[in-house]
């Protein structure tokens, strides 16, 4: 239907030129909207469609995978390539200012367009699987902006399978599901334990007996942090200390632990046995696991989030907990301060992080995969080194649809990274 409408409206070369230039006002656009009113095409979408239809030599994506494109810029007439940004309809990450999209989706697309690529946001659903697959197979790159969670009409495993297949075909998905799974899971901290940013005494429990065997030994000798795999706001992250403070002394099932949950800094007491029984819930179920990591007491000074675009660290955010607390979430009262990567107080962190970067993806057994397009690493301050400099250790990675709606000024850098990934993949295919 779109092709027929476009061909009727674009009957002259002059009109095609006007539409290709993104002329969404004037007689041509009003004629287009008038035609759209006689069909089921949304008027706001119709104003934008001339920039992406076959009037400029592009195939028209099916209407049911498109949303409101009224803020999408005109596409280049001779693009360097085609990039699709994949989203899903609905979910907690959508805001009114995004017109049904994530707030940062259209700005990212417009930045990629400014780099010379055709870039269109499309909505995946199980019902449109075949249509999305057809589009992605012809793409040069795919930006994945799907927030983990339950969304009506979307089976996560089905979408993940599609993206894996596209990625295996040499079309880079940024980031593909295996990267998100291995880097975003809490046991990524085990994968990096031999890097400078990791701690060697970090363990993961995938089976309940493993926890019952190892946790009593780790908590015997010092405070620990137990982290469930699910959640991102501190829920299920427990700071564990011996109530008697007698580290190194024998421990039993009845040894009492002082516990604090990071989500809201509330405190509890349980015996070792009671706490392990409580933690069984975190191991049961799909992707269930617990990571057991050494507690770093300087967490009271906060965390330093490194915001990364591809292989470049672009911003540091110091997240300082509320007085007397340990949680660095905004909901718990933490305050956030932004720094540039060249801030002298974090030179030691940046130097060590860049030294580790060539080995990070290999540590996840993904040596041939590029870094995620947008990702974060949260560092906790450790003890000072022999030269009196602060050390820093990663407490968490996040690469599952990290938002930049409050940092839209970074979109051009995201777009340049997209270009690097697309051209790198193209070079490999050739």
* 248-283 pLDDT, tens digit each: 999 999 999 999 998 888 899 999 999 999 999 999
- Say what the pLDDT of residue 184 is: 83
Confidence check: pLDDT of 366 > 50: yes
* 349-359 pLDDT, tens digit each: 999 999 999 99
Confidence band of 135 (pLDDT split at 50, 70, 90): very high
Q: Mean per-residue pLDDT for 88-102?
A: 82
Q: Mean per-residue pLDDT for 90-103?
A: 81
* 374-386 pLDDT, tens digit each: 999 999 999 998 8
Confidence check: pLDDT of 98 > 70: no
Q: Give the C-alpha separation, 345 to 35, whole Å.
A: 60
pTM over cut 0.85: no
Rounded to the nearest 5°, which phi and psi values hold at 87?
-130, 180
């Amino acid at each position: 239907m779109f092709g027929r409408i476009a061909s009727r409206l674009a009957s002259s070369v002059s009109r095609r030129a006007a539409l290709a230039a993104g002329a969404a006002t004037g007689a041509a656009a009003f004629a287009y909207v008038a035609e759209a009113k006689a069909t089921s095409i949304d008027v706001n979408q119709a104003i934008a469609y001339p920039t992406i239809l076959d009037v400029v030599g592009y195939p028209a994506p099916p209407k049911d995978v498109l949303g409101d494109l009224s803020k999408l810029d005109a596409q280049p007439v001779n693009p360097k390539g085609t990039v699709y940004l994949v989203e899903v309809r609905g979910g907690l990450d959508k805001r009114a200012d995004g017109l049904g999209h994530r707030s940062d989706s259209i700005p990212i697309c417009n930045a990629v367009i400014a780099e010379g690529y055709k870039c269109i946001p499309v909505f995946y659903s199980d019902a449109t699987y075949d249509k999305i697959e057809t589009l992605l197979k012809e793409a040069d790159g795919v930006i994945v902006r799907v927030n983990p969670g339950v969304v009506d009409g979307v089976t996560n495993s089905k979408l993940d399978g599609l993206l894996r297949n596209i990625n295996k075909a040499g079309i880079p998905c940024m980031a593909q599901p295996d990267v998100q799974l291995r880097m975003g899971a809490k046991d990524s901290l085990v994968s990096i334990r031999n890097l400078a940013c990791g701690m060697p005494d970090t363990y993961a429990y995938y089976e309940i007996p493993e926890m019952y065997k190892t946790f009593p030994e780790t908590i015997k000798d010092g405070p620990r942090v137990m982290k469930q795999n699910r959640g991102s706001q501190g829920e299920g992250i427990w700071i564990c200390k011996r109530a008697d403070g007698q580290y190194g002394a024998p421990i039993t099932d009845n040894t009492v632990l002082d516990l604090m949950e990071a989500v809201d800094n509330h405190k509890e007491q349980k015996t070792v046995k009671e706490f392990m029984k409580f933690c069984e819930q975190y191991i049961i179920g799909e992707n269930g696991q617990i990571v057991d990591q050494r507690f770093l007491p300087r967490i009271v000074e906060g965390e330093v989030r490194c915001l990364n675009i591809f292989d470049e660290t672009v911003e540091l955010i110091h997240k300082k907990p509320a007085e007397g607390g340990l949680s660095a979430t905004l909901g718990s009262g933490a305050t956030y301060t932004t720094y540039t990567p060249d801030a002298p107080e974090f030179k030691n962190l940046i130097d060590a992080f860049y030294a580790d970067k060539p080995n990070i993806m290999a540590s996840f057994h993904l040596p041939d995969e590029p870094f995620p397009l947008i990702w974060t690493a949260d560092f906790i301050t450790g003890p000072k080194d022999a030269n009196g400099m602060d050390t820093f250790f990663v407490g968490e990675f996040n690469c599952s649809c990290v938002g930049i709606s409050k940092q839209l000024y970074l979109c051009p850098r995201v777009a340049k990274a997209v270009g690097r990934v697309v051209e790198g993949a193209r070079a490999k295919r050739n």
